[in-house]
Amino acid sequence: MRGLTTASLDAPGPFETKGTEAYYYITPVDPKWTSKQQEDWLRQFNYFTNDVVTIHEAYPGHYMQFQHLKASSATRIEKAFYSYAFVEGWAHYAEKMMLDEGFGDNGDPVRVAKYRLAQSGEALLRLCRLCVSVKMHCQGMNVDEATRFFMDNWYQGEKPSQREALRGTFDPGYLYYSIGKLQILKLREDYQKQEGANFSLQKFHDLVLGSGMSQVGLLREKLLKNKSIWKDTL
């Protein structure tokens, strides 16, 4: 796992009462790598991207997500079983949401643009994962071809691109980052239309995070009154 993830959060389960610590991991360079491989790995971890990754993994991404789940009134079933698209979709959604709400905006347009570029790069990575997952598991793409796809479309070096390709061999579900984010954005748009002037972003987030970890399609049935749009998930 160390070699195939750039960053991750290891949070205590919803019923844990003793081991309550959460651990936020970032994979450093391997000293055995060449200087070029080390540079490629670190290039993806510029300071602005690090902040976006921390939003995803810690606050208000996965760490807050699991803390909210633990404290919520969701049933034991809702807490125990989760949707990949919801869990990763929320954290990926949080990256864009936080910048939209002004994170990192100190009045310097160049600084703001760098944060947007970093967040767009993270979104581009997830879209590449979506494409590679389908191509690799349905259309015969091999690891070398997937590595080149990431290099050509994510615009990062060979080392991080190869690790992303290798992850795709055993985790085809990593396509759900993009799908989940887009589903949550669509749900928020429809919920805001429904609520009108009464819409509150905080209320929307509390409803989403307080309903367990179910598929976004089920959240639509819970939050939206108009049954005719329940299936319009994207």
Q: What digits encode the pLDDT tens for the residues 176-199?
A: 999 999 999 999 999 999 999 999
Q: What is the pLDDT of residues 156-169, one digit of tens each?
A: 999 999 999 999 99
Provide the percentage of residues in the chain whose pLDDT is more than 70. 99
Q: pLDDT at position 176, please?
A: 97
pLDDT surpasses 70 at 1:
no
Q: What is the mean pLDDT of residues 145-150?
A: 98
**What is the band of 4 on the pLDDT scale with cuts at 50, 70, 90?**
confident
pLDDT surpasses 90 at 44:
no
The more confidently predicted of residues 118 and 4 is: 118
Say how many residues make up the chain: 234
Q: What is the CA radius of gyration of the chain?
A: 19
Structure tokens of 16? 């844990």
Cα dihedral 167/58/157/138 (nearest 10): 30
**Angle, alpha carbons 79-169-159 (nearest 5°):** 110
Q: What is the mean pLDDT of residues 30-38?
A: 92
Answering whether pTM is above 0.85, one says: yes
Q: What is the mean pLDDT of residues 33-46?
A: 90
- The strand pairing partners of 10, in sequence order, are 23
Q: What is the mean pLDDT of residues 23-49?
A: 90
Mean pLDDT of the chain: 94
Report the C-alpha gap between 107 and 146 in whole angstroms: 40
Specify whether the CB–CB gap between 188 and 217 falls below 8 A: no
Report the C-alpha gap between 53 and 151 in whole angstroms: 20
Q: pLDDT at position 2, please?
A: 65
**What is the band of 68 on the pLDDT scale with cuts at 50, 70, 90?**
very high
Q: What is the mean pLDDT of residues 22-41?
A: 91
Q: pLDDT at position 197, please?
A: 97
pLDDT surpasses 90 at 219:
yes
pLDDT surpasses 70 at 127:
yes
Report the C-alpha gap between 179 and 217 in whole angstroms: 12
Report the C-alpha gap between 5 and 57 in whole angstroms: 12
**What is the band of 106 on the pLDDT scale with cuts at 50, 70, 90?**
very high
